[in-house]
Amino acid sequence: MPELNQHPENEHQQPSGATRRQFLRGAGTAGAAGVAGLTVMGLGGCAEGAQTSDIRPGQGSAEPGDNDFLAKARVPFDGPHQAGVDTPQQSFIKLIAFNLKESKTSREDVIRLMRLWTDDARRMCSGLAGLADLEPENLESTANLTITVGYGRSLLDKIGLSDKAPEWLGDLPEFSRDELVDAWNGGDICLQICADDRFTLSHAARFMTKTARTYVDVAWMQDGFLHARGSIEPGTTPRNLFGQLDGTANPAPDEHDDIIWINDGPEWLRGGTAMVIRRVAMLMDEWDILDRASREVAMGRTIDTGAPLTGTDEFDDPDFEALDQYGLPVIDPNSHMARAFSTDRSERIYRRPYNYDMPPGPDTRGTSNSGQIFICFQKNPLKQFVPIQQRLDEADRLNEWITHIGSAVFAVPHGTNEGDYWGQDLLEG
Amino acid sequence: MPELNQHPENEHQQPSGATRRQFLRGAGTAGAAGVAGLTVMGLGGCAEGAQTSDIRPGQGSAEPGDNDFLAKARVPFDGPHQAGVDTPQQSFIKLIAFNLKESKTSREDVIRLMRLWTDDARRMCSGLAGLADLEPENLESTANLTITVGYGRSLLDKIGLSDKAPEWLGDLPEFSRDELVDAWNGGDICLQICADDRFTLSHAARFMTKTARTYVDVAWMQDGFLHARGSIEPGTTPRNLFGQLDGTANPAPDEHDDIIWINDGPEWLRGGTAMVIRRVAMLMDEWDILDRASREVAMGRTIDTGAPLTGTDEFDDPDFEALDQYGLPVIDPNSHMARAFSTDRSERIYRRPYNYDMPPGPDTRGTSNSGQIFICFQKNPLKQFVPIQQRLDEADRLNEWITHIGSAVFAVPHGTNEGDYWGQDLLEG
Ligand code: HEM
Ligand code: HEM
């Protein structure tokens, strides 16, 4: 990996001696910036939004009290890791998968595309318009825009770099309950674009697609959302469309190096990560008629506070051994939490999911076309995502109300230094 | 119209002696609340968001500086007019058109549906969960939620109330450039749901649809957006996907009575309005390659400030007579503004449009599936919308880059008093 400009904001420092629980609690309050050593990009920045500091000189940062505090909220583009992975979740996501056009499958074509794209992405995330953008006004608000690239197995195969692919890059093993639809599967290249403003997101996505149109075709596009900035306290766990607090047991920043970031193998992936995307339809009609107690049993957590059924606070550790008055486990061993929980600590994943809710279409189930764009990051999906999903596939009370309909895996190369382009040491290696 | 609880917040008071221009300027600043007599629901409220006052006792209102200022931002549900018409635009819209099920076409069925719906809408807009909602947590943020109902001609025909329909209620005349797609046309009933939070919107839409599912089927659903709260100063004109400031020349609050609100004819529509929805595809590929000067000629306004080409400020009045050094009109007579401008002041409309930007689908044109959900309100579309659209259809430079693909007209009954239901005096009359 080339030497990088180490922006202090990009370093993840952990408040010394803080437990994950304390850490998360701190982040859940407006005073997150006050937690010793909490870093801008790691959590405090986007959580406070406007406090995301600006890496370009001469551009001020705004305060949350400002009426346009999102306008100048920026996440640094360059750094050892790409932004958009452990960046606190913005309100909106657009995932776009592309396939190389048949006439553009040489390594030089991909280098050209990556140069153009990296330049545009870097410019837009810093509040400059993309190169030759005739509508710079559409980027008036950066709104914590991040643009992250990932490469599919098929990309490396097409451009003759199969030998540089990690073993985990490719289709996931089939799970028994999968009902995958071709339209949501795979892709040569993926862009994950996130922002706190749907309009900014739209323009950035459009601009990236346009830049690329002589090289690639769009394979699929997924639109997702969370609560708006201003609706819940920054750092608070957001709810999914089943009404559940979703994200509670995610690894804390001091665990990211162990769980997310690759630190061996091919150079181009050191500092990078593996991205798994599963489109999961949620069967709202069936969920709707389920009583509250059954919903809580299915998850192993309460709906209101998100606490495990053996605790009272969202961040209490679950007690899987606890028995109720009849001698039965308080947390159902087939609840989603119990099945997803890994006693093997090397098996964990970093989840970054979004809700989707679409007009009626081919994926409509009953009266809804909604669900979760499940996204997770890890060093190795075969060792982390797969064993978890195997347990869930086998037995998870939630299965009655969810169906996996799309699947893709992408290798996310390490971050860039100013002037570098995405995947440079893969493509030039 | 029944006697109404007149909430002072619902009255539109106009700053005495202020011109539209001054008024709009005032609204464009953070100091909007300081403009004498500016009312909460009329403009200042949503513009300032958190200052939208709360009609239920015991629920506090938040300040914009709060990190969850949207959570308690509410627009009063009851009042002489339905909310969501002259309510300052929220960031998100969902339009859902429904058709009565064949077994549910009696007037009693519709009365039952309207009772259920009005109750749920009133509750949700006040921050209470819908009746028997098992997921009240999904409404943690009201985010200026509004829910507005409209009736199509086909509804009145089906339930034997054709004689109560105003003459303008029905399909619009066909325009020469129309490329209407059945999937986006008409509908018995329309719900317009708006909020500043996409998650809140999703839950409210889902809940309303669910309540109704034994009575109606979804005919179509349209999702739209504007800039996020926090991205542009409240009251600032938002940009559309062509990068244009869109909304500048909209009638000021003191003109709403003349332009929007019906004050004669059938009782159920006095205090109501007519809603026109046109789905307009914007051909982004072609627009993208157009130079900036040509874009400004096509509109008659500049891209950066939105000023007419004869002025310097967004709210300057256009001078259609002004000639340039060659004796040619500075504002092209075929520009969108010149064609849309009405010398007959009774012909104007109140526009409330949203952007749409969808994954590839049947409506994709070139590489985009984006455009504008053009929505306007007026007393009588045949006298207001139609003559304008006829001029645009005939000759509007913008036509090269836009195509109308959907059309619908709904009669929006007057507002409710607490305890009333939508359309009560139509349905019981
Ligand atoms: C629509 C699909 C899904 C929904 C609605 C959902 C929802 C949730 C919720 C509400 C929690 C508890 C709160 C939290 O810790 O975040 C949770 C935990 C978790 N989920 Fe999921 N989930 C879904 C799919 C998945 C998938 C596909 C995986 C991975 C294969 C997964 C892995 C996990 C893990 C690892 C935890 C944390 C368990 C722990 O250590 O306590 N989930 N999920
Ligand atoms: C994609 C479609 C459309 C776009 C992008 C668009 C855009 C614009 C823009 C940028 C302006 C100037 C700023 C302003 O006053 O808001 C404008 C003005 C206007 N537009 Fe449109 N428009 C569209 C369709 C329509 C339609 C269908 C109608 C009605 C039939 C309409 C009626 C008007 C009117 C009445 C004005 C104000 C003219 C004046 O009095 O100055 N527009 N439009």
- Chain B residues with beta carbon closer than 8 angstroms to that of A360: 218, 220-221
pLDDT at position A24: 36
Strand ranges in B237-395 using DSSP code E only, listed in sequence order: 273-282, 350-351, 354-357, 370-378
- Chain A residues with beta carbon closer than 8 angstroms to that of B225: 198-199, 202
CA A392: distance to chain centroid? 20
Residue A340 Cα to ligand 1 middle (Å): 6
Residue B384 has φ and ψ, to the nearest 5°, of: -115, -65
- CATH superfamily label, A72-81+90-149+189-230: Apc35880; domain 1 (3.30.70.1030)
DSSP state letter for A11: S
3-state helix, strand, coil in chain A (%, to 5): 30, 20, 55
Q: How far apart are CA A316 and CA A21, in angstroms?
A: 8
pLDDT at position B70: 94
**Matching residue, tokens 């590489």:** B367
Among chain A residues, CA nearest to B136: A243
How would you write A241-306 as a 3-class SS string? CCCCECCCCCCCHHHHHHHCCCCCCCHHHCCCEEEEEEEEEECHHHHHCCCHHHHHHHHCECCCCC
Local mean pLDDT, 10-residue blocks, chain B (429 residues)? 35 33 32 28 30 30 69 96 97 98 97 97 90 79 97 98 97 98 97 98 96 95 96 92 96 96 96 98 94 96 97 97 96 98 93 97 93 98 98 98 98 97 95
For residue A245, the one-letter residue type is L
Structural contact between residues A74 and A62, judged by C-beta atoms closer than 8 angstroms: no
Residue B52 Cα to ligand 2 middle (Å): 28
Q: Is B107 left (phi over 0), alpha (psi -120 to 50) or beta?
A: alpha
Distance from CA of A338 to the nearest CA of B (A): 23
Q: How far apart are CA A13 and CA A39, in angstroms?
A: 7
Strand ranges in B270-359 using DSSP code E only, listed in sequence order: 273-282, 350-351, 354-357
Ligand 1 atom at minimal distance to the Cα of residue A318: 41
Structural contact between residues A342 and A391, judged by C-beta atoms closer than 8 angstroms: no
Q: How far apart are CA B404 and CA B178, in angstroms?
A: 5
Selected residue of B63, B66, B67 to mutate for chain A interface (largest A Cβ count, 10 A): B67
pLDDT at position A63: 53
Closest ligand relative to A337 C-alpha? 1
Domain limits, CATH 3.30.70.1030, in chain A = 72-81+90-149+189-230
Q: pLDDT truncated to tens, each residue of chain A (429 aa)?
A: 333 333 333 333 333 333 333 333 333 333 233 222 222 232 223 333 333 333 222 233 455 567 888 999 999 999 999 999 999 999 999 999 999 999 999 999 999 999 999 999 999 999 987 777 777 888 889 999 999 999 999 999 999 999 999 999 999 999 999 999 999 999 999 999 999 999 999 999 999 999 999 999 999 999 999 999 999 988 899 999 999 999 999 999 999 999 999 999 999 999 999 999 999 999 999 999 999 999 999 999 999 999 999 999 999 999 999 999 999 999 999 999 999 999 898 999 999 999 999 999 999 999 999 999 999 999 999 999 999 999 999 999 999 999 999 999 999 999 999 999 999 999 997
Facing B367 at nearest CB: one of A213, A290, A291: A213
Instruction: Please give the torsion angle defined by the CA atoms of residues B300, B305, B306 and B312, in that order, rounded to the nearest 10 degrees.
Output: -60
Q: How far apart are CA A230 and CA B139, in angstroms?
A: 14
Among chain B residues, CA nearest to A288: B134
At A115, is the secondary structure helix, strand, or coil?
helix
DSSP B203-252: HHHHHHHHHTTTTEEEEEEEEEE-PPBTTB-TTPPPB-TTS-B--TTPPP
CA B76: distance to chain centroid? 17
